[in-house]
Amino acid sequence: MTILLGDVAPDFQAQTTEGPLSFHEWIGDTWCILFSHPKNFTPVCTTELGEASRLKEAFLERNCKLIGLSIDSVADHHRWAQDIQETQGQTLNIPLIADHDCAVASAYDMLHPSSDTTFTVRCVFVIDPFKKVRLMLTYPASTGRNFAEILRVLDSLQLTDAHSVATPVNWLPGEEVVILPTLTDPAVLQQKFPQGYKEIKPYLRTTPCPAAGT
């Protein structure tokens, strides 16, 4: 089954480096980033898991948990964690799913046989507290992800939910945002954007970035 934006993320039970979990229950009322790795003991994945672990706190500050997936066993994951510590100077501090039967990879369409017949591709799913899929990224096995970009899109999604704004091209936190075109009631505009806004076109209205967490 193909997953589309806005769909409920498939629930599953899995073994992880932090014990067994039931995915939706584990997410609870937080956001979640689920990301897949082609295989253990591979160079790009090793660097990614070091970086994801380093950024765990930055994601938690945004009420977001990280969880990785690789098709090898939990015992293998623990052995790999030692290499991550040694080479990346960082303890693996996020759960890593042992998807040995590819059950999760299949449910999330992480296997792209025309790209690679054996390994999962590098997927990222951003899932909100209602368990809805809000963003999907797919990278080839050979390209490491940019976790700063994943933080950036999380900031954008959370701003949209809280403030009825969208984020323009190359937006970075703190920069001007645009008001959703669906918002036209002057009273609502005044209440939501007390600092005012610039109307460049009726459909293109910019306003200062609302403070995070407000």
Is residue 102 part of the annotated active site? The answer reads no
What is the dihedral sign for C-alpha 76, 78, 82, 85?
positive
Name which of 118 and 184 has its Cβ closer to ligand BEZ: 118
Q: How, if at all, do strands 31-36 and 21-22 pair?
A: unpaired
The dihedrals phi and psi of 148, each to the nearest 5 degrees, come to: -65, -35
* CB within 8 Å of 48: residues ≥ 6 apart: 35, 37, 144, 145, 147
Q: How many residues bind ligand BEZ (CB under 6 A)?
A: 9
Question: Residue 48 CB, nearest distance to ligand BEZ (Å)?
Answer: 8
Site for ligand BEZ in 102-131 (CB under 6 A): 119
Question: Residue 12 CB, nearest distance to ligand BEZ (Å)?
Answer: 23
CA distances for 125 relative to 12, 32, 36, 115, 200, angstroms:
15, 8, 9, 19, 34
Active-site position among 32, 45, 64, 209: 45
Which residue of 13, 87, 115, 142 would you call a contact of ligand BEZ, by CB under 6 A?
142
**CA neighbours within 13 Å on the CB side: how many for 54?**
13
Which residue of 52, 64, 141, 151 would you call a contact of ligand BEZ, by CB under 6 A?
141
Site for ligand BEZ in 8-67 (CB under 6 A): 38-39, 42-45
Question: Residue 143 CB, nearest distance to ligand BEZ (Å)?
Answer: 9
Name which of 12 and 139 has its Cβ closer to ligand BEZ: 139
Name which of 66 and 127 has its Cβ closer to ligand BEZ: 66
Question: Residue 68 CB, nearest distance to ligand BEZ (Å)?
Answer: 12
Name which of 140 and 168 has its Cβ closer to ligand BEZ: 140
The dihedrals phi and psi of 41, each to the nearest 5 degrees, come to: 55, 45
Name which of 113 and 202 has its Cβ closer to ligand BEZ: 113
| Cross-strand pairs, 205 | 199
* CB within 8 Å of 206: residues ≥ 6 apart: 168, 176, 177, 178, 179, 197, 198, 200
User: Which residues are identified as catalytic?
Assistant: 45
**Binding-site ranges for ligand BEZ (CB under 6 A):** 38-39, 42-45, 119, 141-142
